Chains A and B, each alone.
Chain A
Amino acid sequence: MTGLKLIWIVPILPLLGAITNGLIGKLLSKRAVTFVALGSTGFSALFALFAFIELLSLDPSSRISESILFTWIESDKFIAEAGIQIDPLSGVFMLIVTGVGFLIHIYSVGYMGHEDGYSRYFAYLNLFMFSMLLLVLGNNFLIMFIGWEGVGLCSYLLIGYYYDKNSAVDAGKKAFVVNRIGDFGFILAIMWIFWTFGSIDYTSVFPVAHEVLPIGGFTVTGITLLLFIGATGKSAQIPLYTWLPDAMEGPTPVSALIHAATMVTAGVYMVARCNALFNIAPTSMIVVASIGAITALFAATMGLYQYDIKRVLAYSTVSQLGYMFLACGLGAYVAAVFHVITHAFFKACLFLGSGSVIHGLSGEQDMRQMGGLKKLMPLTHITFLISTLAIAGIPVFAGFFSKDEILLSAFFGETQGHLIYWALATTAAAVTSFYMFRLYYLTFSGVLRSTDQHVRDHVHESPPVMTAPLAILAGLAILGGLLGLPIIKDAHILKSFLAPVFSTRGAIEQPHPPMQIEFLLMAVSVGVAVIGIMVARYFYYTNPESAKKLAKKEGWIKIVYRTIQNKYYVDEIYDAIFVKPIFLASRDLLWRIFDMKVIDGLVNGIANFFYKLSQTIRKTQTGFVRNYAMIMVLGVVAVISVWFIVLGD
């Protein structure tokens, strides 16, 4: 038990690293910066592992440990403690964050080696680790919110890392502003929770939720929907997903860590953490599942005709997050967390692999300029292929197990319209395997299409410091599925491990379908994945000309092509509906009329009035002592006269 009380060391170490590198990083040598950054996260990961092992050694029912560090805010009935809590759910997230985070730190040493602002980069990255760990380890909503905002800040800072590049700065701002909309919902939900329960501690909210609130009542539906708005912002779901593809302006390891493996899954963590609330709000569950399923398909189709390698991965991240929310909405939280884990492995590997490709091609990100890297970058190629197979849902690889579990819950779910969810998710799976293999073939097969001689001459495999994390993550992308293998009757490892967190009142019983149907469904999902791969192979490997011919065709196919290539014009629509009116109103109404006329008029008017007044009064100041003395005497005479008149004798 004592070891778990020290769990606060896990988030504190990266914070110390961030402070050191942030304050004096510029004075330190590159070696020292690397040592501080990697040391702090490495030890943090080690501590996290020890803590997790200790957690495992405990009895399943007592696998929770809380430690209050100090009382942070105390105001009448409102008490917020700086408390850290570890239970199976936060334990799993803690391991992902520290483990994948550490690997990406190592990778960054190679990837960012030639960049300016090396210490700044690692300070931000360490700060991100701290915030993310705070988010998953907090024991009340406010601590989670601090972490939530912290990761948002770090995301903003790291997207805008190349601050001399206009598009990067804009993307950072966009991410920040869009996230603010979600955070608004989250903070309202926290207030509402405090209003209802009189506390913001998990332990005094979740166990009593089903007693305090009626099932499907207004309050619980409101709270959960507001929480979900927060989740859509951070986890890039419809309608707030637009920031994530733009976030690819940041350095690639950042995309891997923040915009694929960890931060964007914060929304899933939050929904899973609040399962006690969501379970008694059926309406919210339907909203969560629908948004998730629609996002999964919608984002997948947007990835179809992108040519920027990182943007394809970004849309696939949005799509995969959609799967996780679909699972949450169906009550299959274990499947959601399972997919978070496997996704963290294969998506981090994909991003780091794309980073390796970009690095090897001197910064080229356009897939039309790639090709034939199979022989030139063998290690990157093999790890990339493994993770592509994993995300496509081919058996043996991790993604198959988690995605299949989600599809299974959708097929046998009790929610209304669960078959529609299943159909959407299965279609999305086919689309996913198509565009992922399109990416794979465009990048690795054929011949190098780049015409830039400098790029052609400098193609190289990345150094071991970058390929080693790739290999580890690819290994995890293969083995991660083992977590989902049934060992105990009716429950796989992860399910029984997470059971204490998710066995709250009102939990939706997960189906145990007959084996035959289960295998049939697996066959269907593998089938659609293989079809997607075959189509991609036809268009981009065996018959590359046909894709170009298709793109040139007139008629409806061109309209579809254009629409998808322009991402359904969502950015343009948002721009027309929200950004432009606000911009115009701010400029013409608030600035030119209200600020310049009303505010400035008022301020200048007051100043003018006193200026004029003083111009008159200053004439009495002659500078002659005698005049002042005269006025004094007259004043005294006046006072005495009044005295006599008033008292009168």
Chain B
Amino acid sequence: MLTVNHYLALSGILFVIGTVGVLSKRNIIVVMMCIELMLNAVNLTFITFANYLNDMTGHLFVFMVMAVAGAEAVVGLAIVVALFRNRETLNIDKLNILKN
């Protein structure tokens, strides 16, 4: 039987994988995919609790997060495209122009 704890554990594992991906991957596109993964891990927690507490608010938040995630992906990918056109690289270790 699957309990709440199982779902939460899965969600936690997915979140950690996402986080580690963000911190360790060099390709920006992969980093963005990892961010999506973290968001979906959070979504999973929301759904779990919504189901467990019989409260529809959780579902609401999920839709909210999905909408934001979609918007974020659009903007993020646009930036990536623009970045690639200018710098011809997607390696995050070479992008430290913030410093200067």
Task: Kindly supply a per-residue 1/0 record for chain B positions 86-99, scoring 1 wherever the CB is within 8 Å of any chain A CB and 0 otherwise.
Answer: 00000011011111
Q: Which of B61-100 contact A (CB under 8 A)?
A: 92-93, 95-100
What residue of chain A has the Cβ atom nearest to residue B93's Cβ?
A: A624
Complex CA–CA separation, A51 to B68 (angstroms):
83
Q: Contacts of A629 on B, CB cut-off 8 Å?
A: 22-23
Q: Which of A42-77 contact B (CB under 8 A)?
A: none
Q: Contacts of A622 on B, CB cut-off 8 Å?
A: 96, 99
Contact between chains at B96 and A633 (CB < 8 Å): no
B interface: dominant SS? helix
User: Chain B's nearest CB lies how many Å from the CB of A628?
Assistant: 9
Complex CA–CA separation, A630 to B23 (angstroms):
6
Contact between chains at B92 and A624 (CB < 8 Å): yes
Q: Contacts of B96 on A, CB cut-off 8 Å?
A: 622-624
Complex CA–CA separation, A626 to B25 (angstroms):
9
Q: Contacts of B22 on A, CB cut-off 8 Å?
A: 626, 629
User: Chain A's nearest CB lies how many Å from the CB of B40?
Assistant: 18
Contact between chains at B100 and A623 (CB < 8 Å): yes
User: Chain B's nearest CB lies how many Å from the CB of A343?
Assistant: 79
Known: A630-B23, A633-B19. A625 touches B95 (CB 8 A): yes
A516 within 8 A of B: no
Contact between chains at B97 and A623 (CB < 8 Å): yes
Contact between chains at B100 and A626 (CB < 8 Å): no
Contact between chains at B99 and A621 (CB < 8 Å): yes
Task: Kindly supply a per-residue 1/0 record for chain A positions 607-649, scoring 1 wherever the CB is within 8 Å of any chain B CB and 0 otherwise.
Answer: 0000000000000011111100110010000000000000000
Complex A-B, nearest 8 residue pairs according to Cβ-Cβ distance, in ascending order? A623-B99, A623-B96, A623-B98, A624-B96, A630-B23, A629-B22, A633-B19, A626-B92
Count residues of B near A (Cβ-Cβ below 8 Å).
11
Q: Contacts of B100 on A, CB cut-off 8 Å?
A: 623
Q: Contacts of A625 on B, CB cut-off 8 Å?
A: 92, 95, 98
Q: Contacts of B99 on A, CB cut-off 8 Å?
A: 621-623
What residue of chain A has the Cβ atom nearest to residue B96's Cβ?
A: A623
A interface: dominant SS? helix
Partner of B23, one of A621, A623, A633: A633
What residue of chain A has the Cβ atom nearest to residue B20's Cβ?
A: A633
User: Chain A's nearest CB lies how many Å from the CB of B24?
Assistant: 8
What residue of chain A has the Cβ atom nearest to residue B28's Cβ?
A: A625
Number of A-B contacts (CB under 8 A): 24
Q: Contacts of B19 on A, CB cut-off 8 Å?
A: 633
Complex CA–CA separation, A268 to B22 (angstroms):
89
What residue of chain B has the Cβ atom nearest to residue A621's Cβ?
A: B99
The CB with the most chain B CB atoms within 10 A, among A622, A624, A626, A629, is that of A626
What residue of chain B has the Cβ atom nearest to residue A625's Cβ?
A: B92
What residue of chain A has the Cβ atom nearest to residue B99's Cβ?
A: A623
Complex CA–CA separation, A625 to B92 (angstroms):
8
Q: Contacts of A623 on B, CB cut-off 8 Å?
A: 96-100
Complex CA–CA separation, A622 to B98 (angstroms):
8
Complex CA–CA separation, A633 to B35 (angstroms):
13
Complex CA–CA separation, A449 to B30 (angstroms):
106
Task: Kindly supply a per-residue 1/0 record for chain B positions 7-18, scoring 1 wherever the CB is within 8 Å of any chain A CB and 0 otherwise.
Answer: 000000000000
Q: Contacts of A621 on B, CB cut-off 8 Å?
A: 99
User: Chain A's nearest CB lies how many Å from the CB of B41?
Assistant: 14
User: Chain B's nearest CB lies how many Å from the CB of A110?
Assistant: 72
Q: Contacts of B95 on A, CB cut-off 8 Å?
A: 624-625
Complex CA–CA separation, A596 to B23 (angstroms):
53
Q: Contacts of B23 on A, CB cut-off 8 Å?
A: 626, 629-630, 633
Complex CA–CA separation, A621 to B98 (angstroms):
9
Complex CA–CA separation, A633 to B24 (angstroms):
13
The contact sample of 11 A-B pairs, CB cut-off 8 A, is A623-B97, A623-B100, A624-B95, A624-B96, A625-B92, A625-B95, A625-B98, A626-B22, A626-B23, A626-B93, A630-B23
User: Chain A's nearest CB lies how many Å from the CB of B8?
Assistant: 15
Q: Contacts of A630 on B, CB cut-off 8 Å?
A: 23
Complex CA–CA separation, A624 to B91 (angstroms):
11
User: Chain B's nearest CB lies how many Å from the CB of A60?
Assistant: 89
Complex CA–CA separation, A115 to B92 (angstroms):
77
Complex CA–CA separation, A133 to B99 (angstroms):
68
Q: Contacts of A624 on B, CB cut-off 8 Å?
A: 92-93, 95-96
Complex CA–CA separation, A301 to B93 (angstroms):
94
Complex CA–CA separation, A633 to B16 (angstroms):
11
What residue of chain B has the Cβ atom nearest to residue A624's Cβ?
A: B96
Q: Contacts of B92 on A, CB cut-off 8 Å?
A: 624-626
Complex CA–CA separation, A622 to B96 (angstroms):
7
User: Chain B's nearest CB lies how many Å from the CB of A641?
Assistant: 15
User: Chain B's nearest CB lies how many Å from the CB of A635?
Assistant: 13
User: Chain A's nearest CB lies how many Å from the CB of B17?
Assistant: 13
What residue of chain A has the Cβ atom nearest to residue B94's Cβ?
A: A624
Complex CA–CA separation, A629 to B96 (angstroms):
14
Complex CA–CA separation, A84 to B19 (angstroms):
82
Knowing that A623-B100, A624-B92, A629-B23 are A-B contacts, what are 5 other residue pairs whose CB atoms are under 8 Å apart, sorted by A's residue number?
A621-B99, A623-B97, A626-B22, A626-B23, A626-B92
User: Chain A's nearest CB lies how many Å from the CB of B26?
Assistant: 9
Complex CA–CA separation, A621 to B96 (angstroms):
10
What residue of chain A has the Cβ atom nearest to residue B19's Cβ?
A: A633
Complex CA–CA separation, A136 to B98 (angstroms):
71
What residue of chain B has the Cβ atom nearest to residue A623's Cβ?
A: B99
Q: Which of A384-399 contact B (CB under 8 A)?
A: none
User: Chain A's nearest CB lies how many Å from the CB of B14?
Assistant: 15
Complex CA–CA separation, A623 to B100 (angstroms):
8
Complex CA–CA separation, A629 to B97 (angstroms):
16
Complex CA–CA separation, A266 to B93 (angstroms):
83
What residue of chain B has the Cβ atom nearest to residue A618's Cβ?
A: B99
